[in-house]
Amino acid sequence: MTVKDPVCGMEIDPKEAAGTAEYQGQTYYFCSEHCKTAFDREPEKYVSPDHHHHGEHD
């Protein structure tokens, strides 16, 4: 089973995630520390229904 990184949209295996974060009772998984840091800075930006993934990796 895979989950979607809320920052970049990449499908990842939760067991292989580079990091996790809890927000509003939900656990989010990240492909890299970069994505986790971006989420931690502005979580509401990434959980909003109108957020579109634009390959936000550097």
Q: Give the number of residues written for the chain.
A: 58
Establish if 26 belongs to a structural domain: yes
Contact 26, 39 (CB under 8 A): no
- Total count of domains within the chain: 1
Establish if 58 belongs to a structural domain: no
* pLDDT value of residue 49: 72
Cβ atoms within 10 Å of 18's Cβ, excluding its own:
14
pTM higher than 0.75: yes
Establish if 28 belongs to a structural domain: yes
pLDDT tens column, 30-57: 999 999 999 999 999 999 877 666 555 6
In Å, what is the CA distance from 23 to each residue of 14, 31, 58? Answer: 16, 17, 24
Establish if 56 belongs to a structural domain: no
* pLDDT value of residue 57: 61
Q: Residue 5: which of 44, 23, 41, 32 has the closest Cα? A: 32
Q: Cα–chain-centroid distance for residue 8?
A: 7
In percent, how much of the chain has pLDDT > 70?
A: 86
Establish if 54 belongs to a structural domain: no
Establish if 55 belongs to a structural domain: no
Give the domain range for residue 7.
3-47
